Amino acid sequence: MGAPPADAKRIRALREAIARHDHAYYVLDAPTVPDAEYDRLFRELQALEEAWPELKTPDSPTRRVGGQALAAFAAVRHVVPMLSIRTETDSGPGGARAFDARVRRQLGLAEADPPVEYCAELKFDGLAINLRYVEGVLAQAATRGDSETGEDVTDNVRTIRGIPLRLTGKAPKLLEARGEVFMRRSDFERYNARQRELGQPPLVNPRNGAAGSIRQLDPKVTAQRPLSFYAYGLGETDGWRLPARHSEVLDALANFGLPVCGERAIARGAEELIAFHDAILARRDALPFDIDGVVYKVNSLALQAELGFVSREPRWACAHKYPPQEELTRVLGIEVQVGRTGKLTPVARLEPVFVGGVTVTNATLHNEDEVRRKDVRVGDAVVVRRAGDVIPEVVAVVAERRPTEVSAAPPWSLFEAVGGRCPVCRSRIAREPGEADWRCTAGLYCPAQRKQAILHFASRKAMNIDGLGEKLVEQLVDRGMADSVGDLYDPSRIDAAALAGLERMGEKSAQNLVEAIARSKDAGLERLVFALGIRTVGEATARDLARHFGSLDALMAADAEALQQVPDVGPVVAENIAGFFAEPHNREVIRRLQQAGVNDRQAARARQARQPLQGLSFVLTGTLPTLTREAAGALIEAAGGRASGSVSNKTDYVVAGAEAGSKLDKARALGIRILDEDGLRRLLNDNGESSA
């Protein structure tokens, strides 16, 4: 007996809906449904496919969770070899000029001839992959291998949600899209933080994370790794009329639903290549993933064909690299720092090294298990990594460079390094079973913890007390002027006269600080809850708690069960919150904050004045399902955004409805994020934090 037509129809509808949500979430970066709804659709599809196995297809989203483990990868022969590109040796402007000069010479262009048009792209730092779509369905994914023969990693690649299992639009008979599998920095950090919590080995860096994940024989392991993909070129194609320019190939790939990076530009001549190189370098830290340079490609496919290849490298492309984000240096010592929650963090003191744009002298070692796993010892040669605004870390020891006297020393032990006592207050240290961290047991009696607690309270995302920095907090605590954040608002302890007596404080800055402290009383409940520094309560949780309970008193009165009604608050977080408020010392500090007049209520006014779209530029096009263009524009402007008429590089979002025309095309070409009405509503309801 076959499946009833209603089930078959439902299966098709679910697959389409899930594919649309995946595309919106992973490619457009504009989620269309809450996670819970997505999970519900996914489970419904899984159940229907279990019931009717004959309806399973290779392009079903259920194939993304990873199937059977393999014994080995099968070999895949590339019909069009996967070549690499030459790296310009000169990493300054000379690199772009040398490339342009070579191209011009090979094309026989005279000085008076017009500039050559290039497509300038990012050089992603991951693993090259060939995606083979047959009749629009992902049929095979392969690594580059030796460029002629790669490995069949289809099951692993299918787990990458940003990669469509079926192309959208009118797909050619055969299309091979080539690009890079990589890991976003935030995904890498989050994944590693969880691994460390679980006592599991973290990934070395995002590049190894991506490459290692694709080479896993068990696709279930790959499915746990947060991978991304950007297409940057073509392999074999059949039944498709190629556009004239490479930039148009990329636009076409984006229109097929493939992720294509928006950070690309058309550049005419060497000077525009240099401008691109410089502009991207200036924003390198702000990009959500690591790049090791930029890539230039002659844009005209006809000229590419004319230029051809030399020793297996195209003459029409080159890589122009940036300084590395990993460097070699030596460990001079391992110190132990005390954090806000008493956590003891081993930090490597390093021979100064220039990496990722700054001179690094310290790098985190995270915790004792990490030091042991990497077997870092004083005197070792190590690789340090600094990428984005993430704190520098020791990636690995270079074993061959370990001096013999270092080999003879025992592995590093945190307990022994600090003699079993907090390096700041000499209290006992402890490590709970199942915990990765040693902690100072003194709580807020430990000056280091007091300092960190006050610094956190005053920080920009918390109460935002401008001018209350590290040096000052140090003095306040050391001189007994502030034992807790409650003292900040106590004029008998802190006033302009007392502050003016401190080092590096003039009368003017003392006065400014007093005013900044007074202003912070109105920071609002969301910031106040975050500022308290409750373990595992970050900004997002603090905001949810404030919105849910509406006042500090209501939050303090909530038991673990009531706390778990709040989104993303599980038993552990609830326990931390309840435990924090049960502590008499904390209750006393809060009483003093309240007495001093610190605003501890969720203000209705604050809600109306929220400007989640502050500084963002929107273009509306087509007909939205429920909003007129005027209404949508008014909503955007009320939320602090700008609605403008034409799409440019400065546009942050295009909101597209039915029959959207050339503006939508242009947005795609420029790689601008595209939203539908639901997506816009989500942004409006968001607090302005990135949802990525």
Residue ranges that bind ligand IVH, judged by CB under 6 A? 83-85, 121, 123-124, 128, 180, 232-233, 295, 314, 317
The CB-of-105 to ligand IVH minimum distance in angstroms stands at: 20
The CB-of-130 to ligand IVH minimum distance in angstroms stands at: 10
The CB-of-262 to ligand IVH minimum distance in angstroms stands at: 13
Strand-pair partners of 370: none
The Cα 329–Cα 645 span in angstroms is 52
Nearer to ligand IVH, 180 or 368 (CB): 180
Q: Please say whether the beta carbons of 436 and 199 come within 8 A.
A: yes
Task: Spell out the residues 6+ positions from residue 323 whose beta carbon is closer than 8 angstroms to its own.
Answer: 91, 354, 355, 356, 357
Q: Is 169 left (phi over 0), alpha (psi -120 to 50) or beta?
A: left
The CB-of-654 to ligand IVH minimum distance in angstroms stands at: 24
User: How does strand 381-385 pair with strand 393-397?
Assistant: antiparallel
Strand-pair partners of 259: none
Task: Spell out the residues 6+ positions from residue 618 whose beta carbon is closer than 8 angstroms to its own.
Answer: 636, 641, 642, 643, 644, 651, 652, 653, 654, 655, 680
Nearer to ligand IVH, 317 or 639 (CB): 317
Nearer to ligand IVH, 86 or 642 (CB): 86
Coil, strand or helix: which one is 571?
helix
The number of beta carbons lying within 10 Å of the beta carbon of residue 565 is: 11
The number of beta carbons lying within 10 Å of the beta carbon of residue 137 is: 15
Q: Which among 123, 321, 343, 451 is annotated as catalytic?
A: 123
Nearest to 643 by CA among 620, 663, 613: 620
The Cα 241–Cα 249 span in angstroms is 10
The per-residue DSSP string of 13-57 comes to HHHHHHHHHHIIIIISS---S-HHHHHHHHHHHHHHHHH-GGG--
The CB-of-622 to ligand IVH minimum distance in angstroms stands at: 31
The token pair at 343 is 């956590």
The token pair at 202 is 């973290």
Nearer to ligand IVH, 85 or 390 (CB): 85
Strand-pair partners of 336: 346
Nearer to ligand IVH, 83 or 516 (CB): 83
The Cα 39–Cα 102 span in angstroms is 53
Nearer to ligand IVH, 82 or 381 (CB): 82
Q: Please say whether the beta carbons of 151 and 95 come within 8 A.
A: no
SS3 content of the chain, % helix, strand, coil (to 5): 40, 20, 40
Task: Spell out the residues 6+ positions from residue 178 whose beta carbon is closer than 8 angstroms to its own.
Answer: 82, 128, 129, 130, 131, 231, 232, 233, 234, 235
Nearest to 97 by CA among 112, 115, 113: 115
The CB-of-180 to ligand IVH minimum distance in angstroms stands at: 5
- DSSP 8-state assignment for residue 221: H
The CB-of-340 to ligand IVH minimum distance in angstroms stands at: 40
Nearer to ligand IVH, 103 or 528 (CB): 103
The CB-of-430 to ligand IVH minimum distance in angstroms stands at: 47
Q: Please say whether the beta carbons of 41 and 18 come within 8 A.
A: yes
To the query of whether residue 9 is one of the catalytic residues in this protein, the response is no
Nearer to ligand IVH, 543 or 668 (CB): 668
The Cα 583–Cα 443 span in angstroms is 11
The token pair at 580 is 């924090």
Nearer to ligand IVH, 85 or 221 (CB): 85
Nearer to ligand IVH, 32 or 156 (CB): 156
Question: What's the per-residue H, E or C state across 460-520?
Answer: CCCCCCCCCCHHHHHHHHHCCCCCCHHHHHCCCCCCHHHHHCCCCCCHHHHHHHHHHHHHH
The CB-of-126 to ligand IVH minimum distance in angstroms stands at: 7
Strand boundaries in 29-126, DSSP class E: 75-77, 117-124
The token pair at 425 is 């207050």
Coil, strand or helix: which one is 377?
coil
Residue type, 257: G
The CB-of-232 to ligand IVH minimum distance in angstroms stands at: 4
Nearer to ligand IVH, 25 or 124 (CB): 124
The CB-of-156 to ligand IVH minimum distance in angstroms stands at: 17
The Cα 273–Cα 270 span in angstroms is 5
Catalytic residues: 123
